[in-house]
């Protein structure tokens, strides 16, 4: 230990640290998507929203000097995209998956277009909170440098779960997601409920994007998202539309993403492409293991097109 | 959305004019067809040209050409290494009258640039990467490349002086000879100062993967590395991560000094401005353009970033003395005996491979002291 | 006679809404570029010139359209069954890898044999991947959109692993690739054109897919499953087989695109195969409203947008992402216009037309 090295202990530590560092965008997008899907609609466009959020946050943080303003702006940009998705889907005969793919393209395109001047400058970053003060090891201290957004995400999950189960709002949302017909009969405006749910989902996805550009890796460029947004949508199905399970799924995915580099840093460099694909393999394997052709997935909103 | 977007749009316009390389967007420059005597030159980049890295280094070279009289410079960025780049070259030729083309990404050469060169045998195609072989490749093509590992060797020396843990970290895209040569030279430079030093390597698998690069940097630092460097297209994220973690770093492709004012030691940079302006002068003067241009520090194709504040006097003195021997052409990095990291002898005692030696172009080993293996 | 007139009227009517949507998208894109200080008229002019303004531009456009037709089929075919598959990129990449490996392994054999084998290998690899998605959907109820996406990431990792590991040509030093195909096994350009045969293959496949889906019992059954799976099952249709065969065919189309990329463009397999044709194909399929025939003109439109991107960058200093923004706008507007579909009636239909056969 005296030379500051952890050896093989570095691998689990890196996976833990990676789970904290990498999981936040997944967490926010999957919570947002969870909310949207509970209303009976899927928004694949969150990939575009995430990228747009990342760019907006970086640009605003750079322009204003306040990273939290950037986070807010990212959330607002996300809200706008969510609202756009919902309003187009509210039209007759429009397929929500198609609209999602369209907004994925539009969001990414706009972010790249408007983000060109921000590739170079450095924007003020979100501060991290140190939870590792008790440890003498620099590595542990660094691993426990936790961003406030991660904590917000962690707190949001149980809140969302509680809200969905126990509030009037949550009930309406679930009724709309389970049976549009029943909700209509009860006098709820389906499109309005879905608009709100999708806009809120977009807000969260935008905030998730701000984490990428303002904390980790903490820079704006066009390769920033390697499909985090769309993978997070997959995680929702994987997490059975349960906000608490979204937390675990995001942590698992984040940890798995850190496995490849961590193994290489202790000298296991063979087959790194395959290690790097580990999160996708893991997600797919769990999906296969837990899906069934005979019955609808537990927790799946009945109105959701992907589960029918 | 209104606010967020309107804000960023306004800053787009504001910064567009500030960031030189992109100035044209706000201006909406009217296209004036090139005068007959103007030499029309096309530069093609594989990524964004303000990436603090590979593409920026080339774009800085193109900017130097732009400042020359009698030229018209065309630029296109983010052109994939597919039929896209072929069509971009043709479009520059057919629609804009380009007669000298610089497809700058390594992957543009074979088959794309070669195909176009055969179609347009009266035009000149110059490729960055040093692949041109007499007899095999058309006469109207050529390549240029720099021995940037010389600068990496110097970075290694400086890194060795700055490291307390005696562990260095190297984040690389792919285990290809060019990259391995940089890893090996960096490590040899460091071990020339202190033979107990090791370099841990992480391959990310692609040229631009910000999250993976940040994760790799963190892993290396967790393993005790206190100087990190890299060979990826855009070192920005790695340099920023190193600075955040409070360790040193050395740069690559272009200078990243402003990104890490505390920890940036030095860096290996391209000096494409020299190469490009030389070429253009030759083309304008009607001089036959050489098919192969290669060189290192001595030829001015490579340069090192100015030393950062953290670099000790001893390190400066040592690195400067080695640099002087690079400049007079007397220094050889690959001088036997050299063992690989599995203990095999790869260069026997008494044997030397100078920079121009073709044997170095197919390097497929990691030198002793590197932690890691090739797939 | 009436029949023909009616069909023509229906076609024109069907084109009115997308046509108007396209114009609206152009207007929106023009407004967007005007906001960043660029004259929209100049943009339109350059887009036209870059995409369709000259014989050179047409060839540029068609070359870019070729792979898109095939990858779009990867989404359009399963869509008949109501499946949303976005894994064309993975099928293309694996198809290209398999084709290259086959071409290299059979080096020296007669050209026709090798080309055939390469095509089959590419199609088989793509079919295995996307057919696997179909099988997972049928057997385990795994969502096909998500699994095809995950498998794409995995397929790309496998391809990278293979070209930098077991299948690497030691001579491909700094651009790790499989060994190059012999010149004889490469696909050349169409006679008198600078567009490779992939375009013809794509058009043929699109026509074949259309015939299969709208003129055969198989296609009828598939569309029945897409319309109402429960009813189809009750009618005794082999839903599972239809599902797996259709997804496998879809994957084969994208796999063939990979083979064409290898044989006509790269001459070997390497990471350059991951060029986004698969993802653009998804857009093309949706914009073509999943109609295999409509895929052809939409792919050409997208090829044209791609072809004009360079001019916008060079002459107006617009970012490369302009192309993405424009595609995104078209996509969003066209989807929104779906709501108008069927409401516009240009001609009073003659009585024999069965109410345009469109669902309400």
What one-character DSSP code corresponds to residue B259? G
* CB pair distance less than 8 Å for A288 and C323: no
Q: Do the domain assignments include residue A252?
A: yes
The answer to whether position C113 is within a domain reads yes
Nearest-neighbour CA in chain B from A278: distance (Å) = 13
SS3 C221: helix
> Nearest CA to C251 among C65, C53, C76?
C76
What are the φ and ψ backbone dihedral angles of B291, each rounded to 5 degrees? -75, -25
Calpha distance A123→A70 (Å, rounded): 10
Distance CA B131, CA B123 (A): 19
Total beta-carbon pairs less than 8 A apart between chain B and chain C: 112
- The interface predicted TM-score (ipTM) is 0.90
Q: For residue B119, what are the CA distances in angstroms to B83, B84, B144, B291, C197?
A: 14, 16, 21, 18, 18
Query: What's the Cα-to-Cα distance from B56 to each of A119, A264, B44, B77, C251, rounded to whole Å?
Result: 11, 29, 12, 10, 39
Task: Tell me what pLDDT residue C340 has.
Answer: 78
E strand or H helix at C44: helix C40-52
**pLDDT at position C345, please?**
60
Query: Quick check: B26 pLDDT over 60?
Result: no
Quick one: pLDDT at residue C148? Answer: 95
CATH number at residue A72: 1.10.3470
pLDDT tier at B66, thresholds 50, 70, 90: very high
Q: For residue C8, which phi and psi values (nearest 5 degrees)?
A: -65, -45
Identify the three-state secondary structure at position B336: coil
**What is the C-alpha to C-alpha distance for residues A248 and A229, in angstroms, rounded to an integer?**
17
Residues C228 and C215 in one domain: yes
User: CB-based contacts of B259: which residues, under 8 Å, 6+ apart?
Assistant: A122, B52, B236, B239, B240, B243
Residues of B in contact with C31 (CB under 8 A): none
Q: What is the mean pLDDT of residues A47-64?
A: 97
pLDDT digits (tens, 9 = 90+) for A216-260: 999 999 999 988 898 898 889 888 899 999 999 999 989 988 888
Cβ distance of B221 and A118 shorter than 8 Å: no
| Residue B250 DSSP SS3 | strand
Q: Which pTM does this prediction carry?
A: 0.90
For residue C232, give both structure tokens.
């189809």
Residue A295: its pLDDT value, please?
65
The yes-or-no verdict on residue B6 having pLDDT over 80 is no
Residues B145-156 have a mean pLDDT of 96
Residue C55 resides in a domain: no
Q: What is the mean pLDDT of residues B123-139?
A: 91
Contact C180, C110 (CB under 8 A): no
Mean pLDDT of chain A: 90
Smallest CA-to-CA distance from A222 within C155, C137, B55 is with B55
Q: Of A198 and A276, which is predicted with more confidence?
A: A198
Provide the residue range defining the domain that includes C190. Answer: 67-317
Q: C61 lies in a domain?
A: no
pLDDT over 90 at B127, yes or no: yes
Torsion angles phi and psi, residue A300, rounded to 5: -75, 130
Same domain, C308 and C326: no
Asked whether the beta carbons of residue C64 and residue B87 sit closer than 8 angstroms, the reply is yes
Residue C14 lies in a domain: yes
Q: How many domains is chain C partitioned into structurally?
A: 2
- Domain final position from C282, C301, C317: C317
Contact C321 A113 (CB under 8 A): yes
Please state the rounded mean pLDDT for residues A72-100.
94
Give the model's confidence band at B19: pLDDT under 50 very low, under 70 low, under 90 confident, else very high: very low
Contact C146 A227 (CB under 8 A): no
Q: What residue numbers bound the domain in which A180 lies?
A: 7-291
Residue-level pLDDT at B177: 93
Q: Return the number of CB contacts < 8 Å for A and C.
A: 139
For residue A107, the chain B residues in CB contact (below 8 A) are none
Residues 6+ apart with CB under 8 A from B321: none
Q: Which residue of A has its CA nearest to B78?
A: A222
Instruction: Indicate which of A37, A45, A93, A256 best probes the interface with C, i.e. most C CBs within 10 Å of its own CB.
Output: A93
B 205-244 residues inside an 8 A Cβ radius of C:
205-206
Average pLDDT over residues A113-125: 94
pLDDT higher than 60, residue A57: yes
- Output the six-digit token pair for A17: 């640290």
Within this chain, do residues C255 and C334 fall inside the same structural domain, yes or no? no
Model pLDDT for residues A170-217, shown as the tens digit of each residue: 999 999 999 989 999 999 999 999 999 999 999 999 999 999 999 999
Position A261 in a domain: yes
What number of other Cβ atoms are within 10 A of residue C5's Cβ? 13
Q: A62 in contact with B at a CB cutoff of 8 Å?
A: yes
Would the CB atoms of A265 and B48 count as touching at under 8 Å? no
Q: Are B14 and B5 in contact (CB under 8 A)?
A: no
Here the CATH number for the domain that contains residue C165 is 1.10.3470
Q: Which domains does chain B have, with CATH numbers?
A: 38-146 (3.40.50.2300), 149-270+300-371 (3.40.50.2300)
Q: What's the gap in Å between the CA of B344 and the closest CA on chain A?
A: 18
**Does C249 share its domain with C329?**
no
Residue A296, in any domain of the structure: no
- Chains in touch with A (≥3 Cβ pairs < 8 A): B, C
A168 at the C interface (CB within 8 A)? no
The better pLDDT of the pair B197, B35 is held by: B197
Q: Does A306 fall in a domain?
A: no
Q: CB-based contact (8 Å) between A80 and chain B? A: yes
Residue C47 maps to a domain: no
Check CB contact under 8 Å for C165 and A107.
Answer: no
Range 214-243 of A in CB contact (< 8 A) with B: 216-219, 221-224, 226, 228
By C-alpha distance, the chain A residue nearest B207 is A223
Same domain for C92 and C216, yes or no, is yes
A 102-141 residues with CB below 8 A of B? 114, 116-122, 139
The residue among A54, A210, A223, A259 with the most chain B CBs within 10 A of its CB, best to mutate, is A223
Q: Which residues of A touch C313 (CB under 8 A)?
A: none
User: Looking at chain A from residue 12 to 31, which residues have their Cβ under 8 Å from any Cβ of chain C?
Assistant: none
Which residues contact residue A137 at a Cβ distance below 8 angstroms, ignoring those fewer than 6 apart?
A: A1, A6
Summarize the confidence of residues B359-375 as an average pLDDT.
Answer: 89
- Residue B294 CA to residue B178 CA, distance in Å, equals 14
> Measured between CB atoms, does A269 come within 8 Å of chain C?
no
The tens place of each residue's pLDDT in chain C, 360 residues long, gives 677 888 888 788 778 888 899 999 999 999 999 999 999 999 999 999 999 999 999 999 999 999 999 999 999 999 999 999 999 999 999 999 999 999 999 999 999 999 999 999 999 999 999 999 999 999 988 889 889 999 999 999 999 999 998 999 988 888 999 999 999 999 999 998 999 999 999 999 999 999 999 999 999 999 999 888 888 888 889 999 999 999 999 999 999 999 999 999 999 999 999 999 998 999 999 989 899 999 999 999 999 999 999 999 999 999 999 999 999 999 999 989 888 776 666 565 554 444 444 333
Q: CA-to-CA distance for A286 and C140, rounded, in angstroms?
A: 12
Q: Where are the beta strands (DSSP E) in chain B?
A: 39-44, 71-76, 100-103, 124-128, 141-146, 167-172, 198-203, 227-231, 248-253, 264-270, 292-295, 302-304, 334-335, 338-339, 345-347, 352-353, 370-371
Q: What is the pLDDT of residue A141?
A: 83
Same domain, yes or no: C21 and C141: no
Say if the Cβ atoms of A293 and C338 lie within 8 Å.
no
Q: Are B25 and C318 inside 8 Å of each other by CB? A: yes
pLDDT at A301: 86
Measure the N-to-C terminal CA separation of chain C; round to a whole number of Å.
Answer: 27
Find chain C residues with C-beta within 8 A of A284's C-beta: 147, 150-151, 154
B:185-224 residues touching chain A, CB 8 A cutoff: 200-205, 208-216, 218-224
Instruction: Determine, for residues A264 and B78 on separate chains, whether the beta-carbon distance falls below 8 Å.
Output: no
Mean pLDDT on A43-55:
96
Indicate if C222 and C92 belong to the same structural domain: yes
User: Is the CB of A88 less than 8 angstroms away from the CB of C332?
Assistant: yes
The helix or strand, by DSSP H or E, that contains position B331, with its residue range, turns out to be none
Shortest distance between the Cα of B196 and any Cα of chain A, in A, equals 13
Interface-testing mutation among A273, A276, A299, with chain C (most C C-beta atoms within 10 A): A273
Kindly determine whether residue C39 and residue B13, on different chains, have CB atoms separated by under 8 Å. Answer: no
B222 and A142 within 8 Å at the Cβ level: the answer is yes
pLDDT of the residue at B1: 34
**pLDDT bucket at B3, cuts 50 / 70 / 90:** very low
The mean per-residue pLDDT over the stretch A66-86 comes to 97
d(CA B303, CA B301): 7
CA-CA distance, C12 to C34, in Å (whole number)? 32
Looking at the structure, do residues C270 and C135 belong to the same domain, yes or no?
yes
Cβ contact, residue pair B28, C261, below 8 Å: no
Residues C96 and C33 grouped into a single domain: no
Phi, psi (rounded to 5 degrees) for B120: -120, 75
**DSSP assignment of chain A, as one string?**
-TTS--GGGHHHHHHHHHHHHHHHHHHHHHHHHHHHHHTT---TTHHHHHHHHHHHHHHHHHHHS-HHHHHHHHHHHHHHHHHHHHHHHTSTT--HHHHHHHHHHHHHHHHHHHHGGGSSSPPPPPPEEE--TT-S-HHHHHHTEEEHHHHHHHHHHHHHHHHHHHSHHHHHHHHHHH-HHHHHHTT--HHHHHHHHHHHHHHHHHHHHHHHHHTSS----TTS-SSHHHHHHHHHHHTTT-HHHHHHHHHHHHHHHHHHHHHHHTT--TTHHHHHTHHHHHHHHHHHHH--SSSPPTT--TT-GGG-
């Amino acid at each position: 230990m005296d030379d500051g090295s952890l050896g093989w202990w570095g691998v689990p530590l890196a996976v833990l640290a990676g789970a904290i560092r990498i999981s936040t965008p997944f967490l926010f997008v999957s919570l947002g998507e969870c909310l949207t899907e509970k209303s009976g609609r899927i928004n694949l466009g969150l990939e575009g929203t995430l990228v747009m959020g990342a760019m907006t946050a970086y640009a605003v943080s750079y322009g204003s000097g306040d990273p939290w303003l950037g986070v807010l702006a990212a959330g607002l940009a996300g809200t706008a995209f969510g609202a756009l998705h919902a309003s187009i889907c509210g039209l007759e005969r429009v397929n929500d998956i198609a609209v999602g793919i369209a907004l994925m393209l539009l969001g990414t395109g706009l972010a790249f277009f408007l983000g060109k001047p921000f590739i170079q400058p450095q924007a003020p970053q979100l501060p991290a909170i140190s939870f590792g003060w008790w440890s003498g090891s620099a590595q542990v201290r660094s691993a426990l440098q936790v961003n406030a957004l991660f904590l917000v995400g962690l707190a949001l999950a149980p809140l969302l779960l509680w809200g969905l189960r126990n509030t009037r709002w949550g009930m309406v949302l679930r009724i709309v997601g389970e049976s549009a017909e029943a909700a209509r009969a009860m006098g709820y405006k389906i499109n309005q409920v879905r608009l709100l749910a999708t806009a809120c989902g977009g807000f969260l996805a935008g905030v998730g994007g701000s984490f990428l550009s303002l904390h980790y890796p903490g820079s704006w460029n066009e390769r920033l998202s390697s499909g985090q947004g769309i993978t997070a949508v997959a995680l929702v199905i994987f997490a059975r539309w349960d906000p608490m399970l979204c937390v675990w799924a995001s942590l698992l995915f984040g940890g798995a993403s850190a496995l490849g580099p961590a193994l290489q840093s202790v000298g296991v460099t063979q087959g790194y492409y395959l290690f790097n694909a580990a999160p996708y393999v893991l997600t797919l394997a769990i999906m296969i293991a837990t899906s069934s052709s005979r019955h609808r997935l537990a927790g799946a909103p009945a109105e959701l097109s992907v589960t029918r | 959305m209104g606010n967020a977007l309107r804000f960023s749009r306004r800053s787009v316009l504001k910064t567009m004019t500030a960031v030189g390389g992109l100035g044209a967007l706000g201006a909406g420059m009217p296209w004036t067809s090139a005068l007959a005597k103007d030499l029309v030159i096309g530069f093609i980049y594989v990524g964004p040209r303000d990436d603090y890295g590979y593409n920026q280094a080339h774009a800085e070279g193109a900017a130097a050409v732009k400042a020359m009289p009698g030229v018209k410079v065309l630029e296109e960025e983010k052109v994939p290494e597919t039929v896209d780049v072929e069509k971009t070259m043709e479009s520059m030729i057919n629609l804009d009258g380009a007669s000298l083309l610089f497809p700058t990404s390594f992957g543009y050469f074979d088959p794309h640039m070669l195909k176009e060169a055969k179609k347009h045998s009266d035009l000149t195609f110059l490729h960055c990467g040093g692949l041109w072989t007499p007899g095999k490749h058309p006469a109207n093509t050529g390549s240029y490349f720099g021995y940037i590992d010389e600068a990496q060797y110097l970075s290694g020396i400086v890194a060795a002086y700055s490291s307390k843990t005696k562990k260095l970290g190297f984040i690389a895209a792919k285990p290809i000879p060019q990259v391995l040569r940089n890893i090996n030279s960096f490590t040899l430079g460091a071990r020339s100062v202190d033979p107990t030093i090791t370099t841990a390597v992480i391959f990310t698998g692609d040229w631009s993967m910000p999250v993976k690069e940040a994760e790799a940097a963190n892993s290396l630092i967790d393993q005790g590395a206190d100087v990190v460097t890299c060979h990826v297209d855009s070192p920005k994220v790695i340099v920023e991560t190193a600075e955040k973690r409070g360790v040193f770093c050395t740069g690559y492709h272009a200078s990243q000094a402003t990104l890490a004012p505390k920890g940036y030691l030095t860096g290996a940079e391209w000096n494409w401005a020299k190469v490009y302006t030389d070429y253009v002068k030759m083309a304008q003067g009607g001089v036959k353009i050489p098919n192969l241009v290669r060189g290192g520090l001595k030829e001015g194709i490579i340069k090192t970033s100015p030393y950062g504040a953290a670099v000790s006097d001893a390190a400066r003195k040592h690195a400067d003395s080695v640099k002087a021997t690079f400049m007079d052409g007397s220094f050889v990095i690959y001088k036997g005996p050299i063992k690989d990291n599995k203990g095999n002898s790869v260069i026997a005692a008494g044997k030397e491979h100078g920079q121009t030696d073709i044997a170095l172009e197919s390097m497929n080993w990691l030198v002793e002291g590197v932690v890691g293996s090739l797939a | 006679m009436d029949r023909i007139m009616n069909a023509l009227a229906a076609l024109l009517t069907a084109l009115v809404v997308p046509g108007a949507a396209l114009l609206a998208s152009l207007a929106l894109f023009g407004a967007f570029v005007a906001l960043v200080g660029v004259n929209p008229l100049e943009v339109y002019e350059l887009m036209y010139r870059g995409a369709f303004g000259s014989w050179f531009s047409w060839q540029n456009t068609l070359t870019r359209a070729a792979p898109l037709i095939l990858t779009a089929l990867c989404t359009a075919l399963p869509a008949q069954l109501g499946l949303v598959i976005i894994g064309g990129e993975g099928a293309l990449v694996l198809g290209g890898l398999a084709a290259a490996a086959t071409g290299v392994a059979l080096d020296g054999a007669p050209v026709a044999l090798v080309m055939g084998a390469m095509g089959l290998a590419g199609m088989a690899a793509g079919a295995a991947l996307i057919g696997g998605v179909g099988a997972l959907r049928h057997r385990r109820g795994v969502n096909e959109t998500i699994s095809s996406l995950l498998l794409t990431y995995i397929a790309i990792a496998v391809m990278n692993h293979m070209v930098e590991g077991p299948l690497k040509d030691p001579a491909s030093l700094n651009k790790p690739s499989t060994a190059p195909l012999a010149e004889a096994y490469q696909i050349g350009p169409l006679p008198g054109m600078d567009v490779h045969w992939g375009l013809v293959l794509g058009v043929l496949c699109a026509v074949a897919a259309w015939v299969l889906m709208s003129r055969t019992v198989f296609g009828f059954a598939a569309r029945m499953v897409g319309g109402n799976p429960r009813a189809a099952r009750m009618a005794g249709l082999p839903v599972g087989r239809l599902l797996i065969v259709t997804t496998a065919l879809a994957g084969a189309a994208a796999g063939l695109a990979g083979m064409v990329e290898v044989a006509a463009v790269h001459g070997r397999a390497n990471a350059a195969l991951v060029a986004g044709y698969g993802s653009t194909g998804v857009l093309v399929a949706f914009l073509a409203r999943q109609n295999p025939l409509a895929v052809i003109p939409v792919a050409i439109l997208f090829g044209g947008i791609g072809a004009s991107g360079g001019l916008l960058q060079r002459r107006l200093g617009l970012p490369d992402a302009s192309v993405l923004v424009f595609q995104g706008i078209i996509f969003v507007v066209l989807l929104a216009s779906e709501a108008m579909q069927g409401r516009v009636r240009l001609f009073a239909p003659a009585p024999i037309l069965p109410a345009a056969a469109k669902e309400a």
